[in-house]
Amino acid sequence: MADQLFLRVTAGPSYDPTFHQLVAVNSGAPTKVQSPLCDAHISVHIRNYRGLPRGSPETSPYFSQPPHTYDQYSISFSFVPHRTISGKSLVFGNDFEHPIRDRIPPGFSAALRIVKWAIDPGLDGDVYADKPYLYGNALSSINALSVGPKVDGKDPLGDLTSDTGKDEGAITEGGFGGGQELREALDVPANAAARQKWFLGGHDRLEKWEWEEGRVYKADFFNPYLDFNEFALKLPGFSLKVLGYLGGEDYLRHVKPAASRRYVLKDKDTGEVLFVVVFTLLPKEQVEEEEAKANKSNTSKATEPGGQADPEFQPKADDLD
């Protein structure tokens, strides 16, 4: 079944997919997102990637760098807030637009307990709600966090990519441009795991932290447990293939919305979104139909008087919905 499915990753400034861009997975070229709340550069790395855009690398040098040799995926991002956000308010995690209670597989509760033990002890939410969610505080959920300098200008993240327009590799815990001194002033541990545990240890620590307006932050969220190519959760002593409980290919072919997993960075107090990243599994037939439709449209434009085919054309993210 897996070879009949394509994974698509999009990113945007809101939940509205019409404002999303197709992410070039494993390319090293970040997707630039601007929202009312931040400027962000987002990179996605997936091991054994099989998806869109066509011709994407199957893997990334990211997975050859310690400590990522066993990881299955990474969502790394740099962002500059447009206003200061309290440390207790910024969350990162998953949410859904529609109820999923009728598709929650047996064993999910056990899987969630393992996830909270192995991945994120601070994870909290309600998967049985009309709009289900599972969020963790960003300060304890993010695996690697680096604090940078204050910046300004129209492109505050412009200096964070190399001359080739690609990111600079795996993000490491720490600080630069005065960010390390800021961490030390707040007694934030230098080690990533210690920092995550430290912020889980007290509400007052979250309140003292501020995601400052105009300051650069670099973050990475990764783990070895989730296989996006099959939407399978592979935990220590427990494996759960979620796709099978969605009806497999028949579900994806005939039912909308398709199987997807949505990650969001947001202010939980105001509900405002900084950015959204969506992973969607699409049946091969749907991808081919939409590509044929897009190619036909592009050809028609080229045959119009004065028309010319655009060599860089590719379907928009929402064209495949």
Which residues are within 8 A (CB) of 209 and not within 5 positions of it... i.e. 6 or more apart?
Answer: 86, 87, 139, 186, 188, 199
pLDDT at 124: 93
Q: How many whole angstroms separate alpha carbon 298 and alpha carbon 294? A: 6
Residue 289, helix vs strand vs coil: helix
Torsion, Cα of 254, 256, 261, 262 (10° steps): 160
Q: How many whole angstroms separate alpha carbon 92 and alpha carbon 224? A: 18
pLDDT at 245: 46
Confidence of residue 52 (pLDDT cuts 50, 70, 90): very high
Confidence of residue 112 (pLDDT cuts 50, 70, 90): confident
What percent of the chain clears pLDDT 90, i.e. is strictly above it? Answer: 60
Q: How many whole angstroms separate alpha carbon 91 and alpha carbon 70? A: 26
Q: How many whole angstroms separate alpha carbon 228 and alpha carbon 8? A: 10
Q: How many whole angstroms separate alpha carbon 12 and alpha carbon 222? A: 20
pLDDT at 248: 46
pLDDT at 309: 42
From the CB of residue 297, how many other CB atoms can be counted at a distance below 10 Å? 13
* 79: enclosing H helix or E strand: strand 73-81
Long-range contacts of 178-186 (CB under 8 A, 24+ apart): 178/148, 178/149, 178/150, 179/146, 179/147, 179/148, 179/149, 179/215, 179/216, 180/147, 182/147, 183/147
| CA neighbor of 6 nearest in space, from 66, 53, 47 | 53
State the burial class of residue 50 (Cβ atoms within 10 Å of its Cβ: 0-12, 13-18, 19+): middle
Kindly tell me if the per-residue pLDDT of 279 is higher than 80.
yes
pLDDT at 57: 96
Of the candidate ranges 105-114, 154-163, 208-217, 265-274, the one whose mean pLDDT is the lowest: 154-163
- Cα-based distances in Å from 130 to 72, 197, 245: 30, 31, 19
Kindly tell me if the per-residue pLDDT of 312 is higher than 70.
no
Confidence of residue 313 (pLDDT cuts 50, 70, 90): very low
What percent of the chain clears pLDDT 70, i.e. is strictly above it? Answer: 83
pLDDT at 305: 57
The 8-class DSSP code of residue 51 comes to: B
pLDDT at 258: 59
Which amino acid makes up residue 264? V
State the burial class of residue 256 (Cβ atoms within 10 Å of its Cβ: 0-12, 13-18, 19+): exposed
| Helices then strands, each counted (H, E), the chain | 7, 18
Confidence of residue 246 (pLDDT cuts 50, 70, 90): very low
Provide the whole-model pTM: 0.86
Q: How many whole angstroms separate alpha carbon 36 and alpha carbon 285? A: 37
From the CB of residue 204, how many other CB atoms can be counted at a distance below 10 Å? 8
Q: Which residues face 80 on adjacent strands?
A: 39
| CA neighbor of 183 nearest in space, from 146, 214, 134, 131 | 146
